[in-house]
Amino acid sequence: MSKRVLVALTCVVLLAALGVAESQSPQPFKLPFPYIFTGPGADWGERVWKEGIGPAVEVVNKKGGIKGRPLEFYKVDTRFPETAPWVTEFRRLAGDASIPIIYGVGPTKSQLAIAELIDEMKIPVFNPSSAGSWPLPSFGKYTFRYQPIADTAVPVMLAKVKQKLPLKTAALVYANDDEAMVNNAKIMRKALQQADVKIVTEQTYRTKETNFTSQVSAIKAANPDAIVASSQAFDAGTLALQIRERGLTQPIIGDVSILADDYWKLSRGKGEGTIAYSIYNPLDPRPIVQDWVKLWRAKMGKPDAFPDSFVTTYFDATMVLAHVLNTARDLSRDGIRDSFLAVRTMETISGKVSWEQPGDVVRSEIVLVQWKDGKLVPWP
pLDDT value of residue 24: 66
pTM of the model: 0.80
Least confident of 2-11, 146-155, 311-320: 2-11
What are the CA-CA distances from residue 229 to residues 92, 171, 257, 277, 313 (Å)?
A: 35, 8, 10, 13, 21
* Residue range 297-324: mean pLDDT, rounded: 95
Return the pLDDT at 21: 43
- Sheet containing 362-363: order of strands: 346-348, 351-354, 362-363
What pLDDT does 2 receive?
Answer: 54
Report how far residue 375's alpha carbon sits from residue 234's, in angstroms, rounded to the nearest whole number: 17
**How much is the mean pLDDT over the chain?**
91
Given a cut of 80, is residue 318 above it in pLDDT? yes
C-alpha distances out from residue 275 to 158, 203, 227, 228, 254, Å: 10, 19, 10, 10, 6
Average pLDDT over residues 311-319: 97
CB-based contact 175:204 (threshold 8 Å): yes
Average pLDDT score over residue span 67-83: 96
Task: Compute the average pLDDT of residues 200-212.
Answer: 93
Pairing, β 362-363 against β 351-354: antiparallel
Tell me, what's the pLDDT at 14?
A: 43
pLDDT for residue 147 is more than 70: yes
d(CA 45, CA 254): 20
Contact 173, 217 (CB under 8 A): no
Over residues 115-143, the pLDDT tens digits come to 999 999 999 999 999 988 898 999 999 99
Query: Domains along the chain?
Result: 29-148+290-364 (3.40.50.2300), 151-278 (3.40.50.2300)
Compare 293 and 24 and report the one with higher pLDDT: 293
Q: What's the pLDDT band for 4 if we cut at 50, 70, 90? A: low
Per-residue pLDDT of 156-170, as tens digits, reads: 999 999 999 989 999
Structure confidence at residue 100 (pLDDT): 98
Answer whether the bond into residue 32 is a cis peptide, omega within 30°: no
Report the distance separating Cα 228 and Cα 53, nearest Å.
Answer: 31
pLDDT given for residue 175 in this prediction: 94
| pLDDT given for residue 260 in this prediction | 83
Long-range contacts of 92-99 (CB under 8 A, 24+ apart): 93/32, 93/34, 94/118, 94/121, 94/123, 95/121, 99/31, 99/32, 99/123
Q: For 198-213, what is the mean pLDDT?
A: 94
**Sign, CA torsion 264/268/273/275:** negative
Please report the pLDDT score of residue 380 as a whole number. 86
pLDDT at 231 over 60: yes
pLDDT at 7 over 70: no
What confidence tier does 10 reach under pLDDT thresholds 50, 70, 90? very low
Find the mean pLDDT for residues 14-37: 73
Q: Are 224 and 252 in contact (CB under 8 A)?
A: no
User: What would the mean pLDDT of 182-202 be, rounded to a whole number?
Assistant: 95
- pLDDT value for 18: 41
